[in-house]
Structure 1
Amino acid sequence: MLKTCGFNAAALLCALWLALQVALPAAATPEVTAAPASADQVLADMVDPKFQPINSTKALKASEQSVVRVLVVYRGFGGVPLDAVGMGSGFVVAPGYIVTNYHVVEAPPEASSAEIYIVPHKDTGAGYQQVEMVKSWTEGDLALLKAPSLKVAPLKLYLTPQKNQRIVAMGYPGVTDRLLKRGGTELLVPADDGGRVDTLFHTAPVNPGNSGGPLLDECGQVVGVNTWSAASSLSDNGDFDVPAGQYVATHVSALNTFLSSAGITPQIQPDACYAKTEDEISKDDALTKALAAAAEAQRQRLEQAKKAEQASALMDQLQLAALVVLSLLVLVLIVVHIRREREHKDGLWERHAAKKAAAESTTEGLVRLACEVDKSASPRPLNGAGPTEFEFEASRACVNNRTPYERQADGSLLRFTVSDSEPFAAKLELSKDGLRFKRSDYRLSPEAHQAYVSQRTALGTLRCASPDNAGQQAALKDNLQKVRTLAQSYLTGAPETQTVWRCHKTEAAKPVN
């Protein structure tokens, strides 16, 4: 449609057509209203399952199954049981293997032997059993117990616990048979006790009996081993001291090193824990649902307001169409004016040239032409271009009695030239009557310029042929064709400058002898 639009009366029709294309689609397209979504559906769309927190209440409940009570029966000489009984906690780190503190299972000096027993969590259905200590590490206060018949899932290790991470100390304190310590407390900075064992401070309370139990993050992953007797700093009297309200645990990295030395490969959790308690999740869900319900109510209000404004929207579209029509009409008028001015100017040039040609009776004889730069026809003129004069002999296509031009099929004249010192080549065009002269300059790369000059030089110097020497004229014509073919192989891009001169006859030139 647009391609068929001309100027004048057709321009108005084009403008009206474009305006209708803008206005009518909005008015004619029926609106489809979706069924309102429920709050649960909006909630499902808002929450990405990949970013849902782990339920720490359920995760820690599951981790309880892997924590065991450790009991140590001491016997004196002759196998007589001693009154003292060792008590602590431990946890499963691999199928059939348990970790606890070494000080929990260490026999006192008065005992000649010790029997180690474990009591699994009641929900596992496993009974107590005697176990064997297969490896110990006194500096790290760790001991590895072997329980081949124990069928309890091991806990995973998380090797890079972070500062201010919430943790839980699990174990069996001596005051109860139930799992007690659920510390909503924070992991503090790693302890610097000057020793060779990585430890960490925390504020999750640890009581006698918790020793050897796991220190867990909220996802139920091991970040340390509860230690009752490890030291973190020196007091004023030279004794090791733990600040009030802080406790010490063997770092999970030290535990992993200990297990590796024993040939045990625990399960490692590489990703950080993101968890919330069941109560926190319930509150978050309630808040999210409330926000989703509010968002849905707002959406419905906006939809109703949109329906109420449909008539006003149609009027807005019609007003927009009117503005488009007005803008296009102004644009068309500007283009028409510019086009008419250009046509008028070109007509003046043509009439002036025709009058000059008629008055001066330009023939194929020798004439002298004076030329002025036509700035309107020279979008990128040659720097420094100005008036020029030359003698033109149309019959021989010769300028200044020495420079030959190649005559084209339409009667116009063509010549190519190249600078010996600068990387520029030019295309020179002269109209049939000699009243319009055009120069197009091309920039060449250094390599192309050198090759062009070399090949052009090989063709020799071109001079106007004698009018009565047919052989010389034929040779010149052949050479001009070769020069044109050579030039066109190099001047393939757009010209850097284009300059047009308008010429007129000044005075009769002397005839060629």
Structure 2
Amino acid sequence: MSLSMIKKLALLLSVLTATLLTGPAQADPADISAASRSVVRVVLAAKDGDKVAFVGHGSGFAVAPDKIVTNAHVVEIARQESSVVIGIIPSQGGTSYGGKIIAYSPGNDLALIQVLDGGRLPPMTVFGGPVGDGADVVAIGYPGSVDRAQGLDLDDLINPMSPVKTTGTVSGGRTTKQFDTILHTAPIASGNSGGPLIDNCGRVLGANSFGSISNGNDAEFGFAVSAREILNFLRKAGVKVATTATPCRSAAEISLEEQQREIAARAQVDAARDAEAEKRERAEAKLRTTISQDIIAARENRMAIAALILVLSLLAAGGAGVLMVQGKRNPAIGAAGGAGILLLAAIFTFLSRPDFSEIDDRVAASLKENEPKSLPQPTSIATSGKYQCTINPQRSRITVSQQNEMPLEWADSGCVNGRTQYGRDGAKWSRIFVPNQEQTITISSFQPDRSEFTEERYLVGLDTMTKARAIRAKYGNRACTTDDKALADIEDMVKAIRAELPGQANERLVYECKPVKN
């Protein structure tokens, strides 16, 4: 079996093994954690002077930094009783906020709460596409049964704590008498009301509203107000919310496809290299045959000439002998000298015949003479100039973004768009962006040898965000520069912040860039 065939079988085995080892897409813990950042406990308490009495609670989720969606029935008593106030308890941090109802729609059991006291939360993205029957879902919220099991009191309920996540599947779309709902099997209980039902990528599919009751226990099935109802409600309330209709794809699926793409690319390069090697081998074999035939012919010609000269030498020697017998001394001496010269010529001609060892030398010299003077340079290496970058959805994991195209002005020094300096990051140039107001960290990279721009987006918690902001402040925010110290600082900043990030980004966008013709 040839080496090239062994390589191809090995690559094929790698692809098959990777495919077999990958099971159905599962919810990525990083996406569920990211979604949990936006979930809040909605607490209702009655105030009577200095006394505060717990009335009830539900769940909710941020659709804007200062706006929370919940169920209408969760906050209904706050509309009826002026003494009842609303508290918004985030899932992280150490601060709680007040809340005020700004939109109320009992017809589809939705309400919108304005967060007071300057509170800001990371908003969620609503999935506006179709939800397939049997799709995996996660319900996030604050079930009262868990609070009771832990023995929590009012002081505990008004302190930030992580919400409860339960998993299930969609059991079909159901329409109640008044509004669209999603029927699902993720366990919910009293207190989950208003919390989000999300997909494996952490996008909102609905707001949990009520459950089916079995023997007085908590719900075996849950009903969530559909995303369509939520989007229509928010549109009427004048709230702009992040939406996407891109189907959810797991990070493992994208990673597998990238591995298969790299394997296929390597296989293509190896096949081209093998074809070129085979072409060279054929050319060398043909050249060797031609040179061998030439040398054999040259040897035979030299040997034939040497034999002819030897015969002439012998004839001259014989003639010299005859002349000597006849007493013609001087002519005999001349004939003998000519015979000697001819003999030496015959010997020289025989010894100067081409040797078979010359075949390898002449083949090598001919191959070297015919080699290209310079190797062709890759045509895909990006140089300074303007580019139009288009997203490749097959290679991207799109969860919250909708930007399909982006202009890029690239400089060989790592300056992007004439204002942002990137640092060396292996074969790429990278820069990390850590905003002050959002809980999102983005690593933007450009790889010139592939003309490829990528964005990796991490939806992180407050602790990670605080650490990243501290690191960014240490290194500063430098504009385009050629200063070696500044470039080294950017590289160090990328490494330092990356060390604080989860192993997997929540979103990875791959853009393929082409030069813009002037």
Rg: which structure is higher? 1
TM-score class, shorter: 0.3 to 0.5
Query: Normalising by the residue count of structure 2, what TM-score does the alignment of the two structures yield?
Result: 0.40
Query: Normalising by the residue count of structure 1, what TM-score does the alignment of the two structures yield?
Result: 0.41
